[in-house]
């Protein structure tokens, strides 16, 4: 599966993004919006575990990778649409090897872990939720694993074996494809266990994940953190759904990885 592409679609995608946001803002509660009706009917009443994130002067670019996790950060998309972010904790991921796989949970075939050696242990997975125009319409803007509270001093693409380092501000990007509206993080040990399962057992694991997603349905977004057959999968809605999404490593002043973040394309930070 190809994981590198040109950013040549950025201007076109900006117009698409703006159009979708406007439609979402104006039509979400309409009786003719079948998607909105279905999401509203499935919405849970559970109390969302809002993350407590310490803000600090952000110097590493793009700043939105960090500030999206600061309560109340606002990004203006155009004259009529703005995004207001708040952070959410969705539980901890168990990293036995410190090698992380990020992918669509329904598209694990031929995926590989990133080459970065992350710490082992249990670490918080957090989502940056964007409230559209401050109302009840919400989307997942970013997902991340928080390895430490240390400030980020630089961001780089999370690389897989054979990929060369490239600038995150260049004309090409590394990404993973999403075809089921979901992204996820998992440790290589869980990934290898999943790959070795027969078709029936594999389906059981995914069925468990999707059942958990249904239990945690927010305002047009979902999440799940499951451990079934010793396979820990942490999944979440990928912004507007299907697409190509890049994952980045944030490093602290000592060169240690302190964040792993997937950007779901709500903010056009290349132009800022």
The neighbour count for residue 108, using CB atoms within 10 Å, is 17
Look at residue 51 in the predicted model and tell me its pLDDT. 81
Look at residue 78 in the predicted model and tell me its pLDDT. 87
Query: Mean pLDDT of successive 10-residue segments in the chain (272 residues)?
Result: 60 47 46 37 64 88 98 92 95 98 91 97 97 88 97 98 97 96 98 94 95 88 95 97 97 98 96 68
Question: Which residues are within 8 A (CB) of 62 and not within 5 positions of it... i.e. 6 or more apart?
Answer: 155, 168, 269, 270, 272
Look at residue 42 in the predicted model and tell me its pLDDT. 54
CA-CA-CA-CA torsion sign (79, 80, 81, 84)? positive
List, in sequence order, every residue forming a beta bridge with 130; answer none if it has no partner. 85, 139
> Rounded to an integer, what distance in angstroms lies between the CA atom of residue 239 and that of residue 269?
15
Q: Give SS3 for 142.
A: strand
Look at residue 135 in the predicted model and tell me its pLDDT. 78
Are 99 and 118 in contact by the 8 Å Cβ rule? The answer is yes
> Rounded to an integer, what distance in angstroms lies between the CA atom of residue 243 and that of residue 53?
28
Which regions of the chain does DSSP assign to beta strands (E)? 4-6, 74-76, 82-95, 100-103, 121-132, 138-146, 154-157, 172-174, 176-178, 182-187, 223-228, 231-237, 243-251, 257-263
- What are the φ and ψ backbone dihedral angles of 263, each rounded to 5 degrees? -100, 125
> Rounded to an integer, what distance in angstroms lies between the CA atom of residue 204 and that of residue 245?
27
Query: In the structure encoding, which two tokens stand for residue 58, read together?
Result: 């952000």
> Rounded to an integer, what distance in angstroms lies between the CA atom of residue 144 and that of residue 164?
23
- What are the φ and ψ backbone dihedral angles of 194, each rounded to 5 degrees? -65, -40
pTM: predicted TM-score of the whole model, two decimal places: 0.88
Total number of domains in the chain: 1
Q: Which domain holds residue 40?
A: 4-271
Query: In the structure encoding, which two tokens stand for residue 218, read together?
Result: 């927010």
Look at residue 17 in the predicted model and tell me its pLDDT. 54
Are 87 and 67 in contact by the 8 Å Cβ rule? The answer is no
Closest to 91 measured CA to CA, from 43, 145, 44:
145
């Amino acid at each position: 599966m190809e994981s590198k592409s040109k950013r040549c679609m950025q201007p076109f995608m900006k117009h698409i993004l703006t159009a979708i946001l406007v439609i979402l803002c104006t039509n979400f509660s309409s009786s003719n919006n079948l998607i909105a009706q279905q999401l509203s009917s499935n919405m849970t009443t559970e109390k969302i575990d809002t993350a407590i994130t310490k803000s600090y002067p952000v110097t590493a670019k793009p700043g939105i990778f960090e500030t999206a996790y600061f309560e109340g950060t606002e990004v203006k998309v155009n004259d009529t649409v703005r995004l207001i972010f708040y952070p959410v904790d969705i539980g901890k991921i168990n990293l036995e090897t410190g090698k992380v796989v990020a992918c669509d949970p329904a598209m694990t075939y031929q995926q590989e872990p990133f080459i970065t050696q992350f710490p082992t242990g249990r670490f918080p997975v957090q989502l940056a939720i964007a409230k559209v125009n401050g109302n009840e319409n919400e989307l997942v803007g970013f997902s991340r694993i928080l390895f430490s509270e240390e400030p980020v001093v630089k961001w780089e693409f999370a690389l897989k074996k054979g990929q060369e380092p490239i600038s995150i501000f260049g004309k090409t990007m590394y990404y993973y494809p999403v075809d089921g509206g979901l992204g996820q993080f998992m440790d290589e040990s869980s990934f290898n266990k999943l790959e070795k399962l027969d078709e029936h057992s594999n389906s059981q694991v995914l069925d468990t994940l999707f059942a958990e997603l249904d239990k945690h349905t927010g305002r047009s977004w979902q999440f799940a953190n499951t451990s079934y057959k010793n396979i820990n999968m942490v999944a979440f809605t990928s912004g507007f759904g299907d697409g190509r999404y890049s994952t980045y490593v944030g490093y602290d002043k000592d060169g240690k990885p302190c964040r792993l973040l997937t950007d779901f394309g709500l903010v056009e930070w290349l132009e800022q």
